[in-house]
Amino acid sequence: MKTVIIATKNKGKAKEFESLFSAKGYEVKTLLDVPDAPDVEETGTTFEENAILKAEAIAHQLGHFVIADDSGLIVDALEGRPGVYSARYAGEAKSDEANTEKVLRELEGVPREARTARFYCALALASPNQETITVSGTMEGLITEQPSGTNGFGYDPIFFVEEQGKTNAELTKEEKNQISHRANALRALDEKLDLFLKREEGM
Protein backbone atom coordinates (compact mmCIF):
# COMPACT_ATOMS: atom_id res chain seq x y z
CA MET A 1 0.00 0.00 0.00
CA LYS A 2 1.24 3.50 -0.80
CA THR A 3 1.92 5.71 2.19
CA VAL A 4 1.47 9.44 2.57
CA ILE A 5 2.72 11.50 5.52
CA ILE A 6 0.54 14.35 6.78
CA ALA A 7 2.53 16.94 8.73
CA THR A 8 -0.06 17.46 11.45
CA LYS A 9 -0.35 16.83 15.17
CA ASN A 10 -4.09 17.41 15.19
CA LYS A 11 -6.02 14.17 15.90
CA GLY A 12 -9.20 15.41 14.25
CA LYS A 13 -7.42 16.26 11.01
CA ALA A 14 -5.48 12.97 11.15
CA LYS A 15 -8.72 10.95 11.32
CA GLU A 16 -10.21 12.84 8.39
CA PHE A 17 -7.10 12.38 6.27
CA GLU A 18 -7.15 8.67 7.11
CA SER A 19 -10.64 8.22 5.70
CA LEU A 20 -10.09 10.59 2.78
CA PHE A 21 -6.86 8.86 1.71
CA SER A 22 -7.90 5.27 2.42
CA ALA A 23 -10.58 5.80 -0.23
CA LYS A 24 -7.71 6.46 -2.66
CA GLY A 25 -5.74 3.38 -1.55
CA TYR A 26 -3.21 5.20 0.61
CA GLU A 27 -2.14 4.53 4.14
CA VAL A 28 -1.74 7.71 6.21
CA LYS A 29 0.98 8.50 8.72
CA THR A 30 0.97 11.71 10.72
CA LEU A 31 3.32 13.44 13.13
CA LEU A 32 1.43 11.64 15.89
CA ASP A 33 3.43 8.58 14.66
CA VAL A 34 6.72 10.55 14.74
CA PRO A 35 7.50 11.08 18.44
CA ASP A 36 10.23 13.72 18.06
CA ALA A 37 8.66 15.75 15.25
CA PRO A 38 9.44 19.45 15.71
CA ASP A 39 6.74 22.01 16.38
CA VAL A 40 6.81 24.36 13.40
CA GLU A 41 6.05 27.96 14.27
CA GLU A 42 3.09 29.22 12.26
CA THR A 43 4.34 32.73 11.60
CA GLY A 44 2.61 33.27 8.25
CA THR A 45 -0.22 35.72 7.68
CA THR A 46 -2.14 33.40 5.34
CA PHE A 47 -3.23 29.76 5.52
CA GLU A 48 -1.10 29.04 2.43
CA GLU A 49 2.04 30.51 4.00
CA ASN A 50 1.57 28.44 7.15
CA ALA A 51 0.86 25.26 5.21
CA ILE A 52 4.08 25.81 3.23
CA LEU A 53 6.08 26.50 6.42
CA LYS A 54 4.87 23.25 8.02
CA ALA A 55 5.21 21.10 4.89
CA GLU A 56 8.69 22.30 3.92
CA ALA A 57 10.11 22.06 7.46
CA ILE A 58 8.85 18.50 7.94
CA ALA A 59 9.75 17.34 4.40
CA HIS A 60 13.26 18.65 5.01
CA GLN A 61 13.46 16.97 8.40
CA LEU A 62 12.16 13.58 7.24
CA GLY A 63 13.80 13.68 3.81
CA HIS A 64 10.46 12.63 2.34
CA PHE A 65 7.49 14.29 0.66
CA VAL A 66 4.71 15.38 3.03
CA ILE A 67 1.36 17.17 2.96
CA ALA A 68 0.59 19.89 5.51
CA ASP A 69 -2.83 21.34 6.26
CA ASP A 70 -3.38 24.83 7.57
CA SER A 71 -7.01 25.58 8.13
CA GLY A 72 -9.42 27.67 10.14
CA LEU A 73 -12.72 29.40 10.56
CA ILE A 74 -13.46 32.79 8.96
CA VAL A 75 -16.39 34.63 10.55
CA ASP A 76 -17.70 37.60 8.55
CA ALA A 77 -19.12 39.51 11.54
CA LEU A 78 -15.70 39.22 13.23
CA GLU A 79 -13.83 40.67 10.26
CA GLY A 80 -12.50 37.24 9.35
CA ARG A 81 -11.39 36.13 12.82
CA PRO A 82 -10.34 33.65 14.17
CA GLY A 83 -8.76 33.01 10.71
CA VAL A 84 -5.15 31.88 10.85
CA TYR A 85 -5.33 32.06 14.65
CA SER A 86 -8.14 29.48 14.83
CA ALA A 87 -6.17 26.84 16.78
CA ARG A 88 -5.08 29.25 19.53
CA TYR A 89 -7.97 31.73 19.44
CA ALA A 90 -8.68 31.45 23.19
CA GLY A 91 -5.04 30.88 24.19
CA GLU A 92 -2.04 28.61 23.89
CA ALA A 93 -3.89 25.63 25.40
CA LYS A 94 -5.54 25.12 21.96
CA SER A 95 -8.83 24.15 23.60
CA ASP A 96 -11.67 23.45 21.15
CA GLU A 97 -14.21 24.25 23.85
CA ALA A 98 -12.65 27.55 24.86
CA ASN A 99 -12.27 28.54 21.20
CA THR A 100 -15.91 27.85 20.34
CA GLU A 101 -17.08 29.63 23.50
CA LYS A 102 -15.06 32.68 22.57
CA VAL A 103 -16.60 32.86 19.09
CA LEU A 104 -20.12 32.42 20.52
CA ARG A 105 -19.49 35.16 23.09
CA GLU A 106 -18.21 37.56 20.44
CA LEU A 107 -21.28 36.90 18.31
CA GLU A 108 -23.80 37.46 21.10
CA GLY A 109 -26.68 39.55 19.78
CA VAL A 110 -25.65 39.13 16.14
CA PRO A 111 -28.74 38.04 14.14
CA ARG A 112 -28.82 34.77 12.19
CA GLU A 113 -28.44 36.36 8.76
CA ALA A 114 -25.23 38.09 9.86
CA ARG A 115 -23.65 34.93 11.30
CA THR A 116 -22.18 33.76 8.00
CA ALA A 117 -18.83 31.99 8.10
CA ARG A 118 -16.62 29.62 6.16
CA PHE A 119 -13.99 27.02 6.82
CA TYR A 120 -10.83 27.36 4.76
CA CYS A 121 -8.22 24.69 4.18
CA ALA A 122 -4.86 25.22 2.49
CA LEU A 123 -2.83 22.13 1.68
CA ALA A 124 0.86 22.25 0.81
CA LEU A 125 2.64 19.31 -0.78
CA ALA A 126 6.40 19.57 -0.28
CA SER A 127 9.40 17.38 -0.95
CA PRO A 128 13.16 17.84 -0.65
CA ASN A 129 13.23 17.16 -4.43
CA GLN A 130 10.51 19.33 -5.92
CA GLU A 131 8.81 22.70 -5.82
CA THR A 132 6.03 22.97 -3.26
CA ILE A 133 2.44 22.84 -4.51
CA THR A 134 -0.50 24.50 -2.72
CA VAL A 135 -4.25 24.15 -3.19
CA SER A 136 -7.23 25.26 -1.13
CA GLY A 137 -10.84 24.45 -0.40
CA THR A 138 -13.70 26.10 1.47
CA MET A 139 -17.12 25.29 2.92
CA GLU A 140 -19.87 27.78 3.77
CA GLY A 141 -22.01 27.86 6.90
CA LEU A 142 -23.58 29.84 9.74
CA ILE A 143 -22.39 30.12 13.34
CA THR A 144 -25.05 28.70 15.68
CA GLU A 145 -26.02 30.19 19.05
CA GLN A 146 -24.92 27.11 20.95
CA PRO A 147 -22.81 24.01 20.29
CA SER A 148 -24.57 20.92 18.99
CA GLY A 149 -23.25 17.47 18.08
CA THR A 150 -20.25 15.43 19.13
CA ASN A 151 -18.63 14.33 15.85
CA GLY A 152 -15.70 16.07 14.22
CA PHE A 153 -13.45 18.47 16.09
CA GLY A 154 -12.58 22.13 16.56
CA TYR A 155 -15.39 24.51 15.62
CA ASP A 156 -17.62 21.77 14.13
CA PRO A 157 -20.30 21.94 16.91
CA ILE A 158 -21.04 25.62 16.15
CA PHE A 159 -20.82 25.44 12.33
CA PHE A 160 -24.27 24.96 10.77
CA VAL A 161 -24.50 23.72 7.18
CA GLU A 162 -27.76 24.94 5.67
CA GLU A 163 -28.04 22.29 2.93
CA GLN A 164 -27.82 19.50 5.53
CA GLY A 165 -29.79 21.31 8.25
CA LYS A 166 -27.13 20.16 10.73
CA THR A 167 -23.95 21.31 12.35
CA ASN A 168 -20.71 19.75 11.13
CA ALA A 169 -20.57 17.89 14.46
CA GLU A 170 -24.00 16.32 13.75
CA LEU A 171 -22.87 15.05 10.35
CA THR A 172 -21.35 11.58 10.12
CA LYS A 173 -17.67 11.38 9.24
CA GLU A 174 -18.67 10.21 5.76
CA GLU A 175 -21.08 13.12 5.28
CA LYS A 176 -18.55 15.72 6.40
CA ASN A 177 -15.88 14.17 4.19
CA GLN A 178 -18.06 14.70 1.11
CA ILE A 179 -18.45 18.45 1.58
CA SER A 180 -15.73 19.76 3.88
CA HIS A 181 -13.12 22.40 3.07
CA ARG A 182 -10.53 19.64 3.56
CA ALA A 183 -12.28 17.30 1.09
CA ASN A 184 -12.59 20.14 -1.42
CA ALA A 185 -8.92 21.02 -1.08
CA LEU A 186 -7.97 17.38 -1.50
CA ARG A 187 -10.05 17.20 -4.69
CA ALA A 188 -8.07 20.15 -6.00
CA LEU A 189 -4.85 18.34 -5.11
CA ASP A 190 -5.86 15.04 -6.75
CA GLU A 191 -4.45 15.50 -10.24
CA LYS A 192 -1.39 17.35 -9.05
CA LEU A 193 -0.68 14.67 -6.46
CA ASP A 194 -0.43 11.89 -9.08
CA LEU A 195 1.97 13.91 -11.18
CA PHE A 196 4.02 14.89 -8.14
CA LEU A 197 4.30 11.27 -6.97
CA LYS A 198 5.33 10.10 -10.43
CA ARG A 199 8.13 12.66 -10.46
CA GLU A 200 9.12 11.62 -6.93
CA GLU A 201 9.45 7.99 -8.07
CA GLY A 202 11.71 9.05 -10.92
CA MET A 203 14.13 10.73 -8.50
Q: Which CB, 162 or 201, lies closer to ligand ITT?
A: 162
DSSP H/E element including 57: helix 47-62
- The minimum distance between CB 169 and Mg ion, in angstroms, equals 20
Phi then psi for residue 123, to 5 deg, are: -115, 135
Q: Which CB, 98 or 195, lies closer to Mg ion?
A: 98
The rounded Cα 110 to chain-centroid distance in angstroms is: 26
- The minimum distance between CB 112 and ligand ITT, in angstroms, equals 20
- The minimum distance between CB 31 and Mg ion, in angstroms, equals 11
List, in sequence order, every residue forming a beta bridge with 87; answer none if it has no partner: none
Question: Binding residue for ligand ITT (CB under 6 A) from 70, 75, 158, 166?
Answer: 70
Contacts of 22 (CB under 8 A, 6+ apart): 28
Q: Which CB, 42 or 101, lies closer to ligand ITT?
A: 42
Q: Which of 33, 36, 39, 70 is catalytic?
A: 70
CA Rg value for the chain:
17
Q: How far apart are the first and last CA of the chain?
A: 20
Active site residue 194: no
| Contacts to ligand ITT by CB under 6 A | 8-10, 13, 42, 69-73, 86-87, 99, 119, 152-156, 168, 180, 182
